[in-house]
Structure 1
Amino acid sequence: MTDHAISNAQSEYVGLNPSPTRPQSSSPGAAPLPESRIQTYVTIAVLLLLIRLLYEFHKPLAFLALVLFGIIGAYRLNTQSNQAIAQHDARMDRINREREESEAMVAEAARMMLEINRRHLEEFIITHPDSSYEQWIGNLHPENAVDETTIDHRFYVEDSDHRLLWNELIGEERQFVPVRTLKTTDIEAAGN
């Protein structure tokens, strides 16, 4: 067997260079072991073999080696576990930071949009002193107005920024816009 063939066979075994002729199994149990795990298994096997040989010559020393081997193994497992926890915590911190940043961006965009709507309403009130809420929405969002008196029902819900802004700025000179719910008859009428 040539060096190249041996190299390919070894790297195929550890999963580094999958063979194009052998189909890869999709089940996790059939996947090749990572190289680090293979090294760990080989190290354990060699150490156990050495302890077994030592047992033949000096039993107390073999017992001591086995205890030491167990302590080192427990320490390595604990270290790996702590590293995995630290990596998980770092990943969660990054995810939380990104979520907070995106929520801050959304809040800032909403604040800016509200300010734009406020300026538009202030100008609209000055230029259209006798207009209604529906006319303002028709001017601001023509795609949501059926005509000058009918607008999308979402502009009447309790937490509608537009409705709240109108009621805040109209003062005594215009009609207050109360919360309205969409009735079944309204839905049926819209469908016809």
Structure 2
Amino acid sequence: MREATRCVLEANSFLKNSLKPVLYLIIAWLLGMSTYGQTGQGYIDYDKVVRTLPEYEAGQKKLELRSKILEDSIKPLIVHYFDSTQHEVERIVNIHRKMDSTEIALLNDDFRKIEKRIQNLQDYAQVELKRAREAIDARLKDIVSKKMEQFCIETGIVCLGEKEAVLYCSDCTDFTSDFIGFLER
């Protein structure tokens, strides 16, 4: 009985010692496989990522402020237009007379000039807001691009792009949450 116990203990010891390297190889292989899954290719949801950036919020506030300033510069002209129109109509009604064709033409011409100025200012405001939006978007794209490069280096990802740019990819992983976590560090 002692010999059987001793034989079982030796066999147990032998298995422990000889299986350790095999066990370590299996663990290393499993870790390598899980790491390999993350070093392939993937994508991020750019819009979702951008909305988490502090620069995005600052850019939105800047656009709102610029829009308000441009709107405020147009308002007096619109008020003037409506006041002028109302004043002329009241003047004509108060004197109970018809305007001759020259007066009508001059009045219409004045109103068209004011309308044209308002339209030009509105067009200018739209162009200015578009330029400001494009500048902010370019800055955000630059920030995300640089951070994506760092993220790929640190995580060993070979290829990472915007979700909208990926037409088809069978092995692609969505790294949006991981990337947002990286940005928040």
TM-score interval, normalised by the smaller of the two chains: 0.3 to 0.5
- Normalized per residue, the structure richer in strand is 2
Q: Return the TM-score normalized by structure 2.
A: 0.37
Of structures 1 and 2, the one scoring higher in RCO (CA 8 A, sep 6+) is: 2
Q: Return the TM-score normalized by structure 1.
A: 0.36
- Normalized per residue, the structure richer in helix is 2
